[in-house]
Each structure stands twice: as C-alpha cells, then as structure tokens.
Amino acid sequence: MTKPDLIYTTYIKTTPEKLWAALTTPEFTRQYWGGSANVSSWEKGARWEHIGENGTVHHIGIVEEIIPQQRLVLSWGDPSGSKDVSRVTFTLEKMNETVRLDVVHGDFIDSSATADRVSKGWPVVIASLKSYLETGKPLDIWGSASSACGTKDAAA
C-alpha cells in the first residue's frame, strides 16, 4: 500500500526573507532544529545534508527545485545508501504580515520507515521554527521529542 503524503501548514508572523533564511542557513536551522543544520550551496542539483551537533550526517539529498523565498524541493534520504528516499517540498506564501508555510513530505516507497519517523518529527520542527521566528526562542522540547523521533538529531 502506498504511503500518503504528509502535509503540514502553519502561519508565521514573519517575512518570506526571514523564513527562507531560517530554512536554508545553517546558523538558523541549528536554533530551532535541536542543534542540527541544513547545509548546501542551495542551487538546483546541489547536494544538501542535515548534520547533527556532533557532525553526524543524518539525512542527505539533492536540491530538486529552488525559487528563493517561495519554494524549495529536496530529495530526502539516509546517508547509508538506503533506497528509502522521499521528497519534501517547502512552499512559502506571503499573506500581509504573515507567511503561510506548507511542508509536504511524500513520494515514500511502500516499505518506508522514513514516513513513520518524519510524521513525528515535522510537527516538532515546524512548531519550533514558528516559535523561533515569532519570539526569538525555539521550543525547548527536544528531550521529549527525541523519544518520539528516535534521537534528538533524527527529528524530521
């Protein structure tokens, strides 16, 4: 049975520029993603890596589509070379003083373990991102999230 796409939508009181920077700048991603960073040159076809505090690469992929401050599409895989590769799409839409963020993670293989892990991780990451951009402080929940997501660095 094909696993359905996971779809998350939130509204963040910020600008598309700030949200884009939060998604693509390692110094920002570390702030709300439990110390982990997304690292890439952020050009179409470039490799990206999700790197934990200890330097361990937890997720890898390719930048499939990039329209700065509007849309980012990444393949999402395990650095072990597993065939459990999926796709995540971030879509930003300015709405007055707010930005609508849609995160769609899908194209899972039938036997995907990733789908189960990220279904627990994305709500934590997105909530922490929203808190960070609106208050300057991420959510302090990675200890409890780690038990649901496997490890602190494995969240989403």
Mean pLDDT within 109-126: 91
- pLDDT tier, 1 (very low <50, low <70, confident <90, very high otherwise): low
* pTM (predicted TM-score): 0.89
With bands split at pLDDT 50, 70 and 90, how would you rate the model's confidence at 149?
very low
Is the CB of residue 75 less than 8 Å from the CB of residue 52? no
Burial of 3 (0-12, 13-18, 19+ CB in 10 A): middle
Over the stretch 83-114, which tens digit does the pLDDT of each residue have? 999 999 999 999 999 999 999 999 999 888 89
Q: Which two tokens stand for residue 147?
A: 């038990």
Domains of the chain in start order, with CATH, are 11-150 (3.30.530.20)
Q: Tell me the backbone φ, ψ of residue 112, rounded to 5 degrees.
A: -60, 125
Map tokens 């982990």 to a residue: 36
How confident is the prediction for the chain on average, in pLDDT? 90
Per-residue pLDDT band for 125 (boundaries 50, 70, 90) equals very high
